Amino acid sequence: MLIKRNLLLFFRDRSAVFFSLLSVLIIIGLYALFLGDALEKSLQTGLGFESDKISVVIASITLAGMIAVTSVTSCLGALGVSVSDKENAGKDFRTSPVSRKKILVGYIAGSGAVGLIMTVAALVICTGYILSKGGSLPSPTNCGLLLLTAVLSVLCGNAMVFFGTTFVKSQQAYTSMSTIIGTLIGFLMGIYIPLGTLPEAMQWVIKLFPMTHAASMFKQIFADGELAELFATAPPEALQGTREMFGVALTFGGFEGGFWFSAAVLIATTVVFYGASLLVMKLRRD
C-alpha cells in the first residue's frame, strides 16, 4: 500500500513528472537544435567521408545517454514524496503502527518503480526514433541486455539520489538539490560534449561517475553494431578511437572497462550508497 501510495502521489502531480523529465527535455532540445549537427560533423571529420549511418550513430549515442539520465531524474522526482512527508507528516508516520523499515522500503521501492517505468518508456521511445532514422531493431539478446541495463541503471541512480535525500528535510532544499542535479547530470555523463574532446582531468571525473557506466552500457548496445558497420573499411584504431571519443568505451589507462565491468560498477555503487543511507539514518535516528 505504501508503494502504491507513493506511485499515485508522483504520477498525479503533473509538475513533479514534468520537472523529473526536465533534463531529458533539455537534452532533446539541444540535440534537435544544434547538438546533433555538431556531433555528426565531428564524426564525419574523423571518418573522412559522408555516410547515411552517421546520423543513426549520433542519435543512438545521444539518446542512449538520455535514457541513463531518465533513470536518475525520475527516481529523484519520485523521492520528493519522502521529503514532503518528512516535512509535513514526519510525526504522523513515526507514531503510526507501520514500522520504520516498511516506510523506508515503501519510499525506495516506490521511487525505483517510478524510475523503471519512466526508463523503459524512454527506452521504447528512443528505440522507435532510432528506427525512424534508419537504425536496426535490437536483437532478442540485445533487448534482454537493454532491460538488464535499465534495471541496473535505476537501482544505481535510485541509491545515489536516495542517499542525497537523507540529508534533505525541506521542500526548498529538495528543489535546490533537484535543480543542481538536473543541471549537472548531462555534463557528468559526457552527453553534451564528446568525452574525448575534454581535458584529461575532466575525462577522469566523468569516467569515475558511476552513472556514466550506465550510459556507456546503453551506448554499446545501441551504437556498437552501427559503428562497426560505419568503420568497416577503416583501420581498427579509428573505430576504437571513435568509441572512446564518444564514451561508448570507457578506458582507464591501458584498461578498457567493458559491458560487464560497467555492470559490476553499478551493482557495487548501489550496495555502497544504500548501505551509506541506512548508516546515516541509523546514526541520526530518522
Contact present, 102 and 2 (Cβ < 8 Å):
yes
CA dist., res. 191 & res. 168, Å (int): 28
Residue 236's identity, in one-letter code, is P
Q: How many CA atoms lie within 13 A of 20 on its CB side?
A: 29
Nine-digit cell at 25? 527535455
Comparing CA positions, the residue from 199, 82, 188, 70 lying closest to residue 125 is: 70
**77 near 178, Cβ under 8 Å?**
yes
Rounded to an integer, what distance in angstroms lies between the CA atom of residue 276 and that of residue 273?
5
Nearest to 1 by CA among 99, 78, 106: 106
Predicted pLDDT of residue 210? 95
> Can you read off the three cell numbers belonging to residue 142?
540485445
| Higher pLDDT, residue 70 or 134 | 70
- Containing structural domain, residue 270: 2-284
Tell whether the model's pLDDT for residue 95 goes beyond 60.
Answer: yes
Higher pLDDT, 122 or 98: 122
Lowest-confidence segment of 18-22, 105-109, 155-159, 203-207 by average pLDDT: 18-22
Q: Cell numbers of 47, please?
A: 571518418
Measured in degrees and rounded to the nearest 5, phi and psi for residue 256 equal -105, 120
The domain total for the chain is 1
The verdict on pTM exceeding 0.75 is: yes
Most confident segment among 21-35, 50-64, 121-135, 268-282: 268-282
